[in-house]
Structure 1
């Protein structure tokens, strides 16, 4: 007979999860304390149960709470979506990762030492192409108000990069290149004869039930509910930058639940074959300037690998755009995922570094799920 302190014979003995709601609130509050207007975070556990927390305010100067299921711009997290589509097309034989860019887009990468005959699709995916980044952005509030409704075609964005020499010869270094992923979108359209956004929707969003992920196009506002996004410029002035038109690949809007759903599906084997998943996870070291943001990080094909303090590593792809900063992470099999969205970005590297460190700590605590994390050690 079992006693009150002993489970019945043969029963599974389980311990309570170490990372709980109070821990998530603690970690989101630590982010808010850095001067971030609003924070929302979601941890999806192996059982499918969610821990959700939100701190701060949705609109500066009000008491309006940050919605737990609010929309936000995921920015470069969208690169993982693009990479998944490319790898699916490779699996189907519609393209090869070793194709040169010029096979699909002849003459587009040309001039100032740039040569599409020497850059492969794989190098675009892994940020080893050497293509320089020259994306439009805002350094002052005045620039934001003057240019927030500007639009750019993929060709225009690539043309901006062609005004610069490559950062290095293809395959000889690593540098983060948004331009490279714009070129990948152009290749998807050539290979499928469909807009790349339609490929993302039919191949990823619909199969995974990501019903709250969308591209706003030329709509400058977000669906409700959402917290507003803010940028603190070098002058120290905090500006509401929510309303703007973001170039398409960086413009995806989503929720913490949908982002977790994506990484859970991707790493859980629902989107790619084992062979393609292995290629996606084949990483190279990132450049030194990103080591400060991603300590110990390495980059695969649209996926970032980062070490966990409890051993092992996790997979992610963060993003930052229009006042929204997103960090996320998933265990190797996608069984445990976490996404944190912050509604303030800084034009100050030290503040940005502290923000990323605190958000990375949240991801680490949630994925390690150890009792030491509960104690804040």
Structure 2
């Protein structure tokens, strides 16, 4: 029996409480909040279209799209909670402990995990700053949140009730939005860690005294231990491939709506900045900068995770190809060939030819900035 897995990414699991078992009353309250917020944003969209102007859309577009994005993410989080729980449960069942590899390899792996944790912590700090600075006690909301104008127009002197409810309930959507993101991040980080453990375990298995290598062909005990190690790696690799497939299938379900809303959010942020940069107060500049930084940070993290799936599934193949198979007996060579065959195809998150990787982030930025420039020129032409 293997020792307990010492999770280097446990802090993110604890912060975001990646546990989807809830009481019925909790689920009911979540659904009620989603319905209320959805109705509120339907009202905001109705007001935007009935009072449509380029300035109105440019000024209030980023926050409106961001909240719609959060509502969609929260809905997906609740709708797919059984599948998400299944992924995390399966992950807990298959994890290898870190001591499966040598101490020097463990130190390198732990150092890499610490660097990843520090980068994610910095991103979380930016996200928290962006959330906090958007609350009313940091300045007037009228020039950034269209809901202030809408509530005053439709509710009159009672507008303070929906106004305070809107901001009081928003942490629920913030939390579920980032919980969904970090569930994906956590699962991919753990899968990547396990692939690295397989790679380290294989490299450790390959090590043999140079003077004794050819003698290993006649050493039945060595060949038996080698075959046992290879079979253990194959079993774990198959389990990880299943885990990655579960992650990919869940991600593809929400990819179309998140790509659409994410692109619209980038376009609206660029358009807001280009058109209004000279007329913004300091608090508005701070809000849009932090919002843009958090969006870019989350996008980079998600695209990096998508790239990680490609990289870690290909690294095993490279490690297997470098195996000293000429010192192995025929049975172990057959096991190696079977292992290599299972690693010839890299896993990736792809939808309609769009792959979640580094190139996607660059494409989103390029397309969003291009559309923002088009909107800027249209507004400039209409003004002149």
TM-score, normalised to structure 1's length?
A: 0.24
Higher helix content, 1 or 2:
2
Larger Rg: 2
Higher strand content, 1 or 2:
1
TM-score, normalised to structure 2's length?
A: 0.23
